[in-house]
Structure 1
Amino acid sequence: MSADETTTTSGATSATDIPVTDTPAKKGPPAPVKVIAVVLGTAVLLSVMVTMFALPAARSAPHHVPIGVVGSEQVVSQVDRLTGDSFDVTAYSDEVAARDAIETRAIYGALVVKPGADLTVLVASAASPTVATMIETMGQGVADATRAQTQVVDVRSFPAKDPRGAGLAAGALPLALGGWISAMVIMLVISSAGGRIIAALGVSVVGGFALIAILQFLVGTFDGNYWLTSLAAMLGIAATCFAVLGLREALGGPGLVVAAIALILLGNPLSGLSSAPELLPTPWGAIGQLLPPGATGSLLRDVVFFNGNAIAHPLIVLGCWLLGGLVLYGLGLRRERRKHVSDVDVVEFGYRETVDA
Structure 2
Amino acid sequence: MTTEAHAADRRRPPLIAVIVLLTAVLTVFLIAFAWPSARSAPRDVPLAVAGPAPAVAQVKTTLDQALPGGFELTAVPDRQAAVQRIEDRDAYGAIVLDGPQPEVLTASAAGPAVAQVLTQLAGRMHPDGGAKVTDVVPLPKDDPRGAGLAAGALPLVLGGIIAAAALTQLVRSGPKRMIGAVTFAVTGGLALAAVLQYWLGSFEGSYLGNAGVIVMSIAAISLTLLGLEWLLGTAGLALGGAVMMLLGNPLSGMTSAPEMLPSGWGTLGQLLPPGAAGTALRSVSFFDGAGSGRPLVVLSCWLLAGLLLCGLGALRGRRHAVPARHEARTVAA
Show the counterpart of 2:88: 104
Q: 1:291 to 1:26 in 2, by over 3 A?
A: farther
Show the counterpart of 1:157: 138
Show the counterpart of 1:259: 240
Mean Cα deviation higher: 149-158 or 72-81:
149-158
Mean Cα deviation higher: 337-346 or 317-326:
337-346
- Does 2:124 match 1:141? yes
SS in 1 for 2:103: strand
Return the letter of the residue paired with 1:152.
Answer: V
SS in 1 for 2:14: helix
Show the counterpart of 2:311: 330
Consecutive unaligned residues in structure 1, runs of 5 or more: 1-22
Q: 1:183 to 1:31 in 2, by over 3 A?
A: closer
8 A contact 1:119–1:148 mirrored in 2: no
Please state how far the C-alpha of 1:261 moved relative to its aligned partner. 2.2
Aligned length: 327
Percent of pairs with identical residues:
43
SS in 2 for 1:66: strand
Return the letter of the residue paired with 2:268.
Answer: I
8 A contact 1:80–1:88 mirrored in 2: no
Please state how far the C-alpha of 1:253 moved relative to its aligned partner. 2.3
- Does 2:29 match 1:45? no
Return the letter of the residue paired with 2:31.
Answer: T
Show the counterpart of 1:272: 253
CA distance in 2, matches of 1:260, 1:343: 31
8 A contact 1:118–1:148 mirrored in 2: no
Return the letter of the residue paired with 1:121.
Answer: V
Show the counterpart of 1:114: 98
SS in 2 for 1:141: coil
Return the letter of the residue paired with 1:179.
Answer: G
Deviations 1:200-244 (A, max 9, x none): 110111011001001001111002110111111110111111111
CA distance in 2, matches of 1:33, 1:245: 29
Return the letter of the residue paired with 1:161.
Answer: D
Matches of residues 165-180 of structure 1 in structure 2 within 5 Å?
Answer: 165-180=146-161
CA distance in 1, matches of 2:21, 2:237: 17
TM-score by length of 1: 0.87
CA distance in 2, matches of 1:256, 1:163: 37
Q: 1:24 to 1:154 in 2, by over 3 A?
A: closer
CA distance in 1, matches of 2:206, 2:307: 29
CA distance in 2, matches of 1:313, 1:211: 23
- Does 2:288 match 1:288? no
Return the letter of the residue paired with 1:72.
Answer: P
Please state how far the C-alpha of 1:308 moved relative to its aligned partner. 0.8
Mean Cα deviation higher: 328-337 or 183-192:
328-337
Please state how far the C-alpha of 1:93 moved relative to its aligned partner. 0.2
8 A contact 2:122–2:130 mirrored in 1: no
SS in 1 for 2:134: strand
Please state how far the C-alpha of 1:172 moved relative to its aligned partner. 0.8
Matches of residues 183-332 of structure 1 in structure 2 within 5 Å?
Answer: 183-332=164-313
Show the counterpart of 2:56: 76
Please state how far the C-alpha of 1:30 moved relative to its aligned partner. 4.5
SS in 2 for 1:69: strand
Mean Cα deviation higher: 94-103 or 260-269:
260-269
CA distance in 1, matches of 2:93, 2:166: 44
CA distance in 2, matches of 1:280, 1:54: 11
Return the letter of the residue paired with 2:201.
Answer: G
CA distance in 2, matches of 1:24, 1:349: 33
Deviations 1:317-341 (A, max 9, x none): 2122211111111111112233334
Show the counterpart of 1:90: 74
CA distance in 1, matches of 2:37, 2:229: 31
Consecutive unaligned residues in structure 2, runs of 5 or more: none
Please state how far the C-alpha of 1:139 moved relative to its aligned partner. 2.3
Please state how far the C-alpha of 1:119 moved relative to its aligned partner. 1.7
SS in 2 for 1:88: strand
SS in 2 for 1:272: coil
Which structure is larger by alpha-carbon Rg, 1 or 2?
1
Please state how far the C-alpha of 1:121 moved relative to its aligned partner. 1.4
| RMSD, aligned CA | 2.0
TM-score by length of 2: 0.93
- Does 2:106 match 1:123? yes
CA distance in 1, matches of 2:241, 2:43: 28
SS in 2 for 1:143: coil
